[in-house]
Chain A
Amino acid sequence: GQNIDQPTEMTATEGAIVQINCTYQTSGFNGLFWYQQHAGEAPTFLSYNVLDGLEEKGRFSSFLSRSKGYSYLLLKELQMKDSASYLCAAMDSNYQLIWGAGTKLIIKP
């Protein structure tokens, strides 16, 4: 079956770095997406990886290892506004997104 695993909740300190891991099993693979969702709002797109390696976008970076079925989202210089849920989603061979349950990130001062 198809499955996405990511931690339920993480806590980090303002100004620090946090890494949110995601492992996936899908029928075929057409890329890995990360979305940010603040409470009561719709998800917003953060990153997309289809090749192995690290993609950097400002304070956020995303890494993919296709052989390991593994990705992570790295957030640097954490700010209070980064408190949100982070959703990992893998795209299968039919271009359908398989969603993880999301990781709630709590930032403390």
Chain B
Amino acid sequence: GAVVSQHPSRVICKSGTSVKIECRSLDFQATTMFWYRQFPKQSLMLMATSNEGSKATYEQGVEKDKFLINHASLTLSTLTVTSAHPEDSSFYICSARDAVREPNQPQHFGDGTRLSIL
């Protein structure tokens, strides 16, 4: 089955640090990748949708200058949390799908990144 790899799985760092999270599709071309955030005991919250080669579309309330998304290739998208603060501590999950050839197929999720800002 389709595999999405997300790295790192856990980050603990000081306030003010910028953190980069990578999301890779290993066996398919991910024309669209999604970045979610999930706080404890809450549902998934879509942060942004990125299409390969174009700017990401951010959901309302998500600061695009704070959460930088780059989707430079069909297999890699990155989320950079700039100048992270304790309130950015959360579980960040990426998902990917081939929106061109398989638009109605399921999104495949990475294993998530648990970010803790001290």
Contact = CB atoms under 8 A, between A and B. Distances in A.
- A and B, one complex? yes
B46 interface: yes
Interface SS majority for chain A: loop
A41 B38 CA distance: 10
Contacts of B103: 30, 95
A105 interface: no
A42 B111 contact: yes
Interface residues of A, number: 20
A87 B42 CA distance: 11
A97 B104 CA distance: 10
Contacts of B108: 45
B97 to A, nearest CB: 8
B44 interface: yes
A44 B109 CA distance: 7
Contacts, number: 41
Nearest to B44: A99
B106 A33 contact: yes
Nearest to B34: A97
B107 A97 contact: yes
Interface in A64-109: 87, 91, 95-97, 99-102
A43 interface: yes
Contacts of A99: 43-44, 46
A31 B104 contact: yes
A101 B43 contact: yes
B56 interface: no
27 contacts: A30-B103, A30-B104, A40-B114, A41-B112, A42-B93, A42-B109, A42-B110, A42-B111, A42-B112, A43-B44, A43-B93, A45-B106, A45-B107, A45-B109, A48-B105, A48-B106, A87-B43, A87-B44, A95-B99, A95-B103, A95-B104, A97-B107, A99-B43, A99-B46, A100-B43, A101-B43, A102-B44
